Structure 1
């Protein structure tokens, strides 16, 4: 598949993920739909990310760090719901983690 299309879908899934995180953290009436969008977006990000990679690069570990970030962003709503993190901190940490993941994807430092 065209790498440009995969990259566009990956970024669109990330935008949907953070839209759902905002809806979950800020509350409101549509939390069930936002939770579903959160899960669907996470799965799409994972699948499209591996489609972009084609196979995990040998000797490079940046993609494992990105998997850890993916797990944290996936667990962030549960951390907020159980009052381990305040909502604003969960969202801020998720944004910072996503920025770091994007930097890792573009620079591949290690």
Structure 2
């Protein structure tokens, strides 16, 4: 597949993911259900397109494993908000920091 299309889908999935996370943290009622669905679909899209961009994961590099771990943390973020484990602003701050680190790892591939 075209790398430009894959990167565009990956970024679109990321936008949907963070929009859904914000809606879950700040919304109420039925909007949380729709946002949860969007969160799951976007997470799956990010995962599948990310592995499609890698084609074959480089086993001598560890940046993609760390990035996968960060996205798993972001995947459980709505549960932290719904169960009131952490306040919503704290979860959103953690999510933004994890997203920035994941973006850095994807662009720089430092290790």
**TM-score after normalising by structure 2:** 0.96
Aligned to 2:24: 24
Aligned to 1:37: 38
Q: In 1, Cα distance between the equivalents of 2:28 and 2:85?
A: 20
Q: TM (normalized to structure 1)?
A: 0.97
Q: Deviations over 1:45-80 (max 9, x none)?
A: 000000000011021001110111111000001112
Structure 1's consecutive aligned runs of 4 or more residues displaced over 4 angstroms after TM superposition are none
Give the aligned length. Answer: 110
Unpaired runs of 5+ residues, structure 1, are none
Structure 2 unpaired stretches of 5+: none
Aligned to 1:79: 80
Match of 2:3 in 1: 3
State the superposition RMSD in angstroms.
0.8
- How far the C-alpha of 1:28 sits from its partner, in A, is 2.3
